[in-house]
Amino acid sequence: MDLRTHYLGIELKNPLVPSASPLSRSLDTARQLEDAGAAALVMYSLFEEELRSSGGPHYVDIGHTEARSYMPEYVPEQGELERHLEQLQRLKLALAIPVIASLNGISLDGWVENGKLLAEAGADALELNAYFIAADLQQSSVEVEQRYLSLLAELRSVVSIPITMKLSPYFSSLGHMVKALEAKGANGVALFNRFYQPDIDIDSLQVASRLQLSHPGDHLLAMRWIAMLQGRTQLSLAATSGVHTSDDAVKMVLAGADVVHLCSTLLLHGPRQLSRILAGMERWLDESPYESLEQCKGVMSQRQSRDPSAFERANYVQLLGGYSVSKEQWR
């Protein structure tokens, strides 16, 4: 089956790309992902906070034995930045697939300097995971958007490798923001990053941090926006968050995604889950009327849909208006 696709100007053998996660901290696990069929790999994120802190990174126990086995122990003898750059170089030497660096910054200088170092270390592309909570009540939406545009423009001026922006779904006008990023030199967008929400422990009366992995069905928000953006931007489109099965991955491609990022499902089931998803996509394509994945990409996008309103408010009205309550089921 011809599953080839193009992402950030790079030809990939298929659209399945493990996203930034602890799995890439281990060369052995990274090789397992490649053997399972990964077309590229996004390395675990470089966090500017970790570089500024005297302590090392803190790993969160996600409560799954198989996933926990992929979490390496922290080695404190070496600086975090040096360790990260060396791991990037090791991954490049060990793997035949492209390696995309993931950067999560908090200052403009940090974004630019660290992004430049990652590019110099051999990254095939940069994914900017701009995880920012607009908690300042005096800050306008225009100011928030300008943060993203400024860091992209500054980084674009010092690196030549492709840059993709990993965005949240909370922009007031997401489509306009995507076009603005395109004008500033982005090569792609990844939709969407997940804001890990703090919880409250009602017994200890403390704020608790718990990692919540995605669930099947969480992919629908990204699928909707990719379907609405497909054909309206020249940027590569990556679908991320909530893809757990081959059906989920196929839907993303039909909506218009160039690649599909995988994370939670790999943490839960290990690298072999990628090969299962890939096999399912091959079966679907073999039974479909299409000869290649490229041929079916975007056929269910809003631009090509027989009912474009299904991606907008009309679908909301139809779903709620058509719902009937069965009082016999009430308890």
Q: Tens digit of pLDDT for each residue in 140-157?
A: 999 989 989 999 999 999
Q: Which pLDDT value is given to residue 55?
A: 46
Q: Which ranges constitute the DSSP H helices of 157-219?
A: 174-183
Beta bridge partners of 5: 12
Q: Tens digit of pLDDT for each residue in 160-187?
A: 999 999 999 989 999 999 999 999 999 9
Model confidence band, residue 62 (pLDDT cutoffs 50, 70, 90)? very low
CB atoms within 10 A of CB 210: 13
Q: Tens digit of pLDDT for each residue in 202-237?
A: 999 999 887 788 888 899 999 999 999 999 999 999
Q: Which pLDDT value is given to residue 217?
A: 87
Model confidence band, residue 248 (pLDDT cutoffs 50, 70, 90)? very high
Q: Tens digit of pLDDT for each residue in 288-331?
A: 999 999 999 999 999 987 777 777 765 666 666 666 777 777 77
Average pLDDT over residues 79-97: 96
* CA distances from residue 284 to 71, 215, 287 in whole angstroms, order as listed: 33, 22, 5
3-state secondary structure of 27: helix
Neighbouring residues of 258: CB distance < 8 A, sequence distance ≥ 6: 5, 6, 7, 15, 188, 236, 237, 238, 297
Neighbouring residues of 186: CB distance < 8 A, sequence distance ≥ 6: 152, 156, 163, 164, 165, 235
Calpha distance 180→161 (Å, rounded): 19
Is residue 110 within 8 A of residue 150, CB to CB? The reply is no
Q: Which pLDDT value is given to residue 75?
A: 38
Q: Say whether the peptide bond before residue 192 is cis (omega within 30 degrees of 0).
A: yes
Q: Which pLDDT value is given to residue 308?
A: 74
Calpha distance 289→308 (Å, rounded): 22
Is residue 284 within 8 A of residue 323, CB to CB? The reply is no
Query: For residue 322, which amino acid is it?
Result: G
Neighbouring residues of 286: CB distance < 8 A, sequence distance ≥ 6: 1
CB atoms within 10 A of CB 5: 24
Residue with tokens 């308890």, as numbered in its chain:
331
In terms of residues, how long is the chain? Answer: 331
Average pLDDT over residues 234-257: 97
Tokens representing 324 are 């009937």
Average pLDDT over residues 252-269: 97
Calpha distance 107→241 (Å, rounded): 26
- 169 DSSP assignment: S
Burial class (CB in 10 A: 0-12, 13-18, 19+), 256: buried
Q: How many C-alpha atoms does 155 have within 13 Å on its Cβ side?
A: 36
Average pLDDT over residues 124-135: 87
Q: What angle do CA 174, 189, 82 make, to 5 degrees?
A: 130
